[in-house]
Amino acid sequence: MQVSGDADYCTRLQTLSEGSVRRNFNPYLDIPWDSAEFKVTENDPRWVLAADSDPIGMSPWYQAQPLEKQIAIGMWRQANVAKAGLQFENMLIRGILNYTFWVPNGSPEYRYCMHEAVEECNHTLMFQELVNHAGVDVPGLVRWLRWMHWLPPLCASPMPVFFFMMVLCGEEPIDHMQKSILREGKPIHPVMERVMAIHVAEEARHISFAHEFLRRRIPEMKRLNRFGLSIIYPLSFRLAASLIAKPPRSFWREFEIPRSVKKEIYWRAPASRAMLSEIYGDVRMLAADTGLMNPIARILWRVLRIDGRASRYRSEPARQALSVG
């Protein structure tokens, strides 16, 4: 699609591209992996999961475990989130390259997408180094999705709206969890804190682009296609929440976590249900602004338990969002 005639859209993409030039990070220059401060050691209580921002950390079962087990679970959990993140971003990079292959000359989307691909490559390096330093052999995403990794990138060229919706499906949960941990102010390991701070800073541009891309294209879709997307939209985000936030089967086996505890954590406990709703305030805002929040879609959001108030602006803090209205 030729977008060069849309001055406002082009200006916003130009701003994002300039931001990528002015503020970018290198995982080997900006993180002192070999420093004593960043060394990962056993029995470091800073790996204990946050009680306010992690579904597992919220669990009374987890909080009742010996400190050593809490630390081991926390290290495995954080390393696996990083591994799942780099696997997702690997698919994202390939999809972006597929999409930009057909972008018309003169389109500002080409430049920004390539900036994003470079940044995502650095994120995969950064996340893999974190996994290596943690010393935990984690699988990342669930097995069936790892085997299907080739499929999402193929959607980017023929179905760009669907692809960039999937981009948000993966980016929003990780971004929400990391921002919540950083805002909580609880002591966390310096290597984890630095990785999350870099990722949140650059991911803000990536999420902004996906929002702008969808705002530009969804209103121009045919009515029937837009209705179909309004149904797929909440289903995809609900699935993504479990794929990103819920550890794979090997995690529950290794730490001998009862099935009843697993079901309570994901997503029966009131605190985890509230978090599930909070994650998607921004995408509910996007759905409302682009005509995807029709009566049937609203029912589906509610049935899936990811309904709630839409954000007033992107990245509105959850606590503020909950205290209003």
pLDDT, tens only, 136-183: 999 999 999 999 999 999 999 999 999 999 999 999 999 998 998 898
HSE-CB at 257 with a 13 A cutoff on CA atoms is 25
Query: What domains can be seen in the chain, in order of their start residue?
Result: 7-323 (1.10.620.20)
Residue 107: is its pLDDT beyond 90?
yes
Residue 116: is its pLDDT beyond 70?
yes
d(CA 156, CA 319): 35
What does the CA dihedral 194, 120, 237, 152 come to, rounded to 10 degrees?
Answer: -150
Of 26, 212, 213, 10, which is closest to residue 119 (Cα–Cα)? Answer: 26
Average pLDDT, the chain: 93
- Looking at residue 321, its pLDDT comes to 41
Residue 325: is its pLDDT beyond 60?
no
CB-based contacts of 204, cutoff 8 Å, min separation 6: 175, 315
Residue 319: is its pLDDT beyond 80?
no
Task: Specify the 3-state DSSP secondary structure of 275.
Answer: helix
* Location of structure tokens 């406990």: 269
Residue 322: is its pLDDT beyond 50?
no
Residue 14: is its pLDDT beyond 80?
yes
Residue 101: is its pLDDT beyond 90?
yes
- Looking at residue 142, its pLDDT comes to 93
- Looking at residue 104, its pLDDT comes to 94
Tokens of 299: 């029912």
Of 101, 137, 128, 106, which is closest to residue 117 (Cα–Cα)? Answer: 101
* Location of structure tokens 């760009």: 160
CB 259 within 8 A of CB 61: no
pLDDT, tens digit, 9 for 90 and up, residues 45-63:
999 998 888 999 999 999 9
CB 86 within 8 A of CB 218: no
* Location of structure tokens 């690997």: 90
Q: Which residue has the higher pLDDT, 119 or 315?
A: 119
Average pLDDT over residues 86-107: 96
Overall size of the chain counted in residues: 325
d(CA 26, CA 239): 32
Residue 185 pLDDT level (bands cut at 50, 70, 90): confident
- Looking at residue 318, its pLDDT comes to 62
- Looking at residue 324, its pLDDT comes to 32
Radius of gyration of the chain (CA): 20
Tokens of 284: 């509910």
Average pLDDT over residues 10-16: 96
Diameter of the chain measured on Cα atoms: 61
